[in-house]
Structure 1
Amino acid sequence: MTALIEAIYDMVNQNQAVCRVLILENTNSTILMRMIALAKDDSIAYWRKELPNTSETDLEMMYTHLPNGMMHIVVEGYDKYSKDEIIRFVSRVVKASLPLFLIAFTVGILSTFASFVMSSATTITVDFVALYRPNMTGTEKNRYIRIGLVVSAAIIAILAQFLPTVIVLFQWLFAQMLPIIFFLIIGLFWKRNTGLAVATMALTWIVTNVWTFTSLPAVLGMENINMIWIILAITLIMQIIGNLILPGRKGYFRSDDWFESEQFAIYEREKHGLSEVE
């Protein structure tokens, strides 16, 4: 065994309980890999010899983050490295940890698929379809949810052809939902402007898809900047400047809608310790 594999084997063998927790919890074992890297300075030379077609960036990642590096090679590198190269790399991973790693990897995929498909189908049915069909029966709701499941599954199957890793898919999803958080906060406490909200959503949706599915970030030299920060900046700039310039309704908690609502009456009673009977 090479110096790197021997170091990994010894580290796992001496800390089996800790390693099982790291893998089962799908935790990044960066600390473990850093310890190995510091102890074995010449190990990277072995990987450079074994995988001559591998870039220095990938070598460094495999060297310092071996479990994550394996995922990177297998999932993203199928078109860059030969089958023999990948097999040589994977076969040297400690056998005891491979089943646990595959279990954690499978659970991550299933969790992502379920969260996208189930949440999309349920949200569209309950929050949108129900607005136009408020008197739906339980059977009708289930039918719409089933239709949503099929449509969402088709969408995620298409996206999987373009997004190499689960993390990129999560970033794509979260980036599109991020503006909604600020619409809610700003709309409750400051100002409500539906047109501005729609414009912000449209722009962030365009930027999210361009940033994810095109080479524009690399052209701009910004491929290392997380897309979430770009969407956050666009959302804050549009919402703050737009609400300062454009007219709009008062924030909900500052408007008559709130002060005249039943919820405000309940809030006042609870605030002053009064019951409904009193």
Structure 2
Amino acid sequence: MRFRARLRRDLPLILLGLPGLIFLLTFQYAPLLGNVIAFQDYQPYLGIGESEWVGMSNFAVIFNGDAEFLNALKNTLILLFLQVVVVFPAPIVLALVLNSLLSERIKRVVQSVLYMPHFLSWVVIVAIFQSVFGGSGMMNGWLRANGYEAFDVIGNSDFFRLVLTSQILWKDTGWATILFLAALSQIGAELYEASAVDGASRWRQMWHVTLPGLRGIIILLLILRLGDALTVGFEQIILQQGPVGVGVSEVLDTYVYNQGILGGQWGVGAAVGLVKGVVGVVLVLAANKIAHLFGEDGIYRA
């Protein structure tokens, strides 16, 4: 088929996708050109054209081991570990539990309740946790009323990472189960029937039938998560950074904000953000290659 004929045939689809393409180019790809300030002593009142070029000087905080940068990197890696080990498997477990419910009505009600927190902003989520676990929250009110000593969970730096992880679990676990439930629905019932005939227990069926059926989507989502590996929740953290201090709460995203925007070190902030993006791309490419070695499609085939 000639090009003009294909163009005439696909024109409605092209026009349908054009607004999305324009949005992507304008707000995702065009701003990438601004990374040039990572190599400048950028001054907003001078602009990119007149700011002084300083080469790799802005990257000194990374390669020379700046204490504040290393602290932010350490906290980022700790939170990343918690999200991969605790947060990532939670939707899988929840999907398996929901899939085992016999009553469709109960399943739909439970799903609806679990999905709801996803649609709340982090401002609302943090406010709810503070009203329940804060110094003057519901929990401490009950403790005081019953003669116990009050205990501030939200403002305690020792519990900061536990609180962050709990908030993410409550907000996004229910929503993340959608993909896993969809994958579970594609597993043929005849596989379970055949395994039952062979004498497999429920646990054996889950291990040899259910989890292999989920392996593809698990690997795909894990690869996509690695793309944002060093992004661990800017808005969620910045809202709660004040009471606990930057020692335990400073991550790379808040470091870029505090040093680059509030501190006026625009070039340093851009340099850290640029390196973070490059590391994310490398992790995605490496994880995708490993997925191919295990026989999975990953996010693309070379």
TM range (shorter): under 0.3
Q: Please identify the structure whose Cα radius of gyration is greater.
A: 1
